[in-house]
Amino acid sequence: IPAGGSLGEASCTCFSAPLPGGRHVFGRNFDWDPNPALVLLTRPRDGYASVSLVDISYLGFPGSRSPLDAPDGLAEAWRIPFDGMNEKGFAVGMMAVDHAEGPQGTGKPRVGELGILRVLLDRAASVDEAIQLMGAHEVAVDTPPLHYLLADRTGDAAVVEFVDGRLRVIRSGTPWMVSTNFLLAEVPPPARDHACWRYAAASARLREGKGLPGAEGAMNLLETVSVPRTRWSAVYELDSGRLTLALGRRYGRTCRWALR
């Protein structure tokens, strides 16, 4: 992922949370430059079907150029999902951090920061499987460096970070988990609410309700922690396979897709 702005501009938020009836949801705000977004459905022959979101400016389509002018340019969109969910109810989202150091010289297959999301969406049915896959690859840290929130339909969730060349896995110890733009491995739990107002606001809402009252509550929470640069707000319902999407903070005009 090439540089496109400062870390302060990349103020993304991800969370996983339980819903009534044993259901689970994954919410994600992507905050970045005002470029076009693509909703991508993939059904690989040797992997799981998935729905993901792609910032197609990274394929040469800024807001001033329509992909309809050169649709062949979208052929590589599957390689760079920014967040997504697969048919097994596994979801993943990435967020920028101020530094990360991935493993090098391991001899493992090397994959890009966004390419690893495609590996996980295609091949992981659970958080544990996703962590194993990330450990089996050498993730090439780029600019900006990233960390990842993983979640599945059982309610399991984890943040994966690369610190000092090592893969670090952090779990919350609660039925919900929040991640924004700081390394959880470097900030102890009592100090995390002071590290980011979005982290504090999302955590407080989930703590107060011991989760969320429904999928609509997930979108409301994303609106609460949105910023002027929020490009999209995505709610992935991990049990039903539904995606609800709001673009450019237009929370009164959402779109929906069903993966299953």
pLDDT at 3: 34
What is the DSSP annotation of 121-175?
HHH-SSHHHHHHHHHTSEEE--SS-EEEEEE-TTS-EEEEEEETTEEEEE--SSS
pLDDT at 68: 80
User: How far out from the chain centre does Cα 236 lie?
Assistant: 10
C-alpha 244/C-alpha 154 separation (Å) is: 20
C-beta neighbour count of 113 within 10 angstroms = 23
pLDDT at 69: 82
pLDDT at 7: 54
> Could you tell me which residues come within 8 angstroms of residue 160 by beta carbon, excluding any fewer than 6 positions away?
130, 131, 134, 147, 148, 150, 167, 168, 169, 170
Nearest by Cα to 258 from 48, 51, 37: 51
pLDDT at 10: 64
Nearest by Cα to 138 from 122, 115, 169: 115
pLDDT at 65: 78
> Could you tell me which residues come within 8 angstroms of residue 66 by beta carbon, excluding any fewer than 6 positions away?
none
| Per-position pLDDT tens, the chain of length 260 | 333 334 555 689 999 999 999 999 999 999 998 889 999 999 999 999 999 999 999 999 887 778 888 889 899 999 999 999 999 999 999 999 999 999 999 999 999 999 999 999 999 999 999 999 999 999 999 999 999 999 999 999 999 999 999 999 999 999 999 999 999 999 999 999 999 999 999 999 999 999 999 999 999 999 999 999 999 999 999 999 999 999 999 999 999 999 98
C-alpha 186/C-alpha 31 separation (Å) is: 23
